Amino acid sequence: MNIAQPSGQCFALVTETYPPQINGVSNTLGKLCEGLLGRNHRVQLIRPAQPGEKPGSTQSGNLLERCVRGLPIPGYPGLQWGLPAARKLKSLWSRQRPDAVYLATEGPLGWSALRLARRMKIPVISGFHTNFQQYSNHFHLGLFHEPALRYLRWFHNQTRQTLVASSTQQRELNRLGVQNLSLLGRGVDCTHFHPTHRSSSLRKQWGANSDDIVLLHVGRLSPEKNPELLIDSWSKLRAAQQAKGTRLHMVIVGDGPSARELRKRMPDAVFTGALTGNALACAYASADIFVFPSLTETFGNVVTEAMASGLAVCAFDTAAAHQHIQDRYSGCLAPPSHDQLFTDNLSWLVQDAEGRRSIRLHARHRACQLDWQAIVQRFERCLLQAALGQSIPVQAVPSK
């Protein structure tokens, strides 16, 4: 079925995080918002005020930003829960009624937006961007696991449709009782993340010669990202390869609550802190192997960024890696929680230079098929079909 795509629709995006904050949700929301504006829609961006900002509204062209008050999220410095804002949203939506609302996060701000939109009979769709229900065990909040799961299930089942990033997440949420799931996927900027950004001078700063092998990890340094396996696999690999005369280097990009512990237990690794822009692109391209032990990703944008940069990815067979990597062809995959196979895969990538070279080429080729424009078009289609009251399945994300 085809639907008309009128220009000038008004869509409200409600999110707890947005650029310049550094995380996958922020990056995705920035791309989706930019894409809607580029397709001549009006966007109301509703989010907590970031450090240095004051609550209030600002208008720039077709973008209206409404910043509300927030509270810090425990364990996530720099991120905030948006406080409930039903009164302010009702005032805004009474004057400028959106055609559809997209809820990217499920905190108090998203909850208040959901309740108000339903009362005002504004169509609502949601996105599942963060596995908060899995984080409870890592932050010693196991008692909250079941209540969090029940809340997330209730929240998303109140919306017309929930958009997910990967097929593994879609299956897991379906098993947990979340209904009306659609696969949206994620894109990657293959011009920004490109092998030509490789820098010999940066490698020298890391202490690596041209023939050395540089392992890279990019991401939040936090308990839910499985840092123990990063430490363990690096320790085993480095000891084994030193005996063979192979010079290895580990570079860790990012920050978070586990940073101090990682620095203590990996004193020979290079820690850069969080990087963005050209500095991040150069860091990716100047490495050789991407090490990603996380098991809690809804997608993992860093995986496709590494692939676009021409790296051989070592990851678990879930989220973005499951969606876009073929084992021993465009990366290396281990079944979830099979730590020894993860470490064995990493060892194989280090030892087999020809296999690693082939994987890097195929990884780049696969990443170049993941265009953000196609993702934005799917997202726009979901909002339009919600606004028009039509039920149209989202086009499947191309498989690996």
Residue 4 has pLDDT above 70, yes or no: no
| CA–CA gap between residue 245 and residue 238 (Å, rounded) | 10
Share of the chain above pLDDT 90, in %: 79
Same domain, residue pair 180 and 251: no
Q: Tell me 233's DSSP state.
A: H
> How sure is the predictor about 400, in pLDDT bands with cuts at 50, 70 and 90?
low
Q: Is residue 91 part of a domain?
A: yes
Same-domain check for residues 71 and 155: yes
Of the candidates 186, 260, 231, 262, the one whose C-alpha atom is nearest the C-alpha of residue 339 is 231
Same-domain check for residues 231 and 296? yes
From 273-277, 317-321, 395-399, the region with the lowest mean pLDDT = 395-399
Residue 398 lies in a domain: no
Regarding whether 326 and 231 lie in a shared domain, the answer is: yes
- Please give the residue that has the higher pLDDT: either 338 or 1: 338
Residues 356 and 290 in one domain: yes
Q: Is residue 399 part of a domain?
A: no
Q: pLDDT at position 81, please?
A: 79
293 preceded by a cis bond (ω within 30 of 0): no
pLDDT tens by residue, 216-253: 999 999 998 999 999 999 999 998 887 677 899 999 99
In a shared domain, residues 180 and 244: no
pLDDT band at 145 (very low <50, low <70, confident <90, very high): low
At 90, the pLDDT band (50, 70, 90 cuts) reads: very high
Residue 392 lies in a domain: no
Q: Is the dihedral of CA 302, 276, 237, 223 positive or negative?
A: negative
- ∠ CA(175), CA(324), CA(308), 5° rounding? 140
What does R_g of the chain's alpha carbons equal in angstroms?
Answer: 21
Looking at every residue in the chain, the average pLDDT score rounds to 91
- Sign of the dihedral defined by the CA atoms of residues 173, 179, 182, 186, in that order: negative
pLDDT above 80: residue 1: no
For position 139, what pLDDT does the model report? 44
Judgement on whether residues 157 and 27 belong to the same structural domain of the protein:
yes
Residue 357 has pLDDT above 60, yes or no: yes
User: Tokens representing 117?
Assistant: 């939109």
| Mean pLDDT calculated for residue range 304-314 | 98
Q: What is the pLDDT of residues 24-65, one digit of tens each?
A: 889 999 999 999 999 999 999 999 998 888 999 999 999 999
* Cα gap 400→395, rounded to integer Å: 15
Residues 212 and 105 in one domain: no
**Domain check: are 111 and 238 in the same one?**
no
Whole-number pLDDT of residue 2: 44
Assess whether 341 and 379 both reside in one domain. Answer: no
Whether residue 141 is predicted with pLDDT greater than 60 in this model: the reply is no
Residue 5 pLDDT > 90? no
The domain tally of the chain equals 2
- pLDDT(170) > 60: yes
Boundaries of domain holding 233: 195-367
Integer Cα distance of 108 and 389 in angstroms? 27
* 214 occurs within a structural domain: yes
Residue 330 has pLDDT above 90, yes or no: yes
Closest to 294 measured CA to CA, from 348, 230, 233: 230
Asked whether residue 3 is domain-assigned, the answer is: no
pLDDT value at 121 more than 70: yes
Q: Which pLDDT does position 111 carry in this prediction?
A: 96
Rounded to whole angstroms, the Cα distance separating 331 from 43 reads 38
Phi, psi dihedral angles at 313 (to 5 degrees): -95, 135
**pLDDT-derived band at 72, boundaries 50, 70, 90:** confident
**pTM as predicted:** 0.90
Question: What CATH number is attached to the domain comprising 271?
Answer: 3.40.50.2000
In a domain, 125, yes or no: yes
Query: Which residue in 74, 83, 130 sits closest to 256, CA to CA?
Result: 74
Query: Are 17 and 128 members of one domain?
Result: yes
d(C-alpha 332, C-alpha 316), whole Å: 8
| Cα-to-chain-centroid distance, residue 369 | 18
Domain membership flag for residue 394: no
pLDDT of residue 178: 94
176 within 8 A of 153, measured Cβ to Cβ: yes
DSSP-H helix ranges across the chain:
24-38, 86-95, 108-119, 132-138, 145-157, 167-175, 200-205, 227-244, 259-265, 277-285, 301-308, 319-324, 339-351, 353-367, 372-387
Q: How many CA atoms lie within 13 A of 38 on its CB side?
A: 10
Per-residue pLDDT, averaged over 111-128, amounts to 97
Query: Does residue 309 carry a pLDDT above 80?
Result: yes
User: How much is the pLDDT for 124?
Assistant: 98
Tell me, yes or no, whether 182 and 228 share the same domain. Answer: no
* Closest to 217 in 3D by CA, of 105, 322, 342, 324: 342
pLDDT at 395: 46
C-alpha to C-alpha distance for 114 and 152, rounded to whole angstroms: 13
Model pLDDT, residue 3: 44
Structure tokens of 345? 């895969």
Residue of 396 and 57 predicted with greater confidence:
57
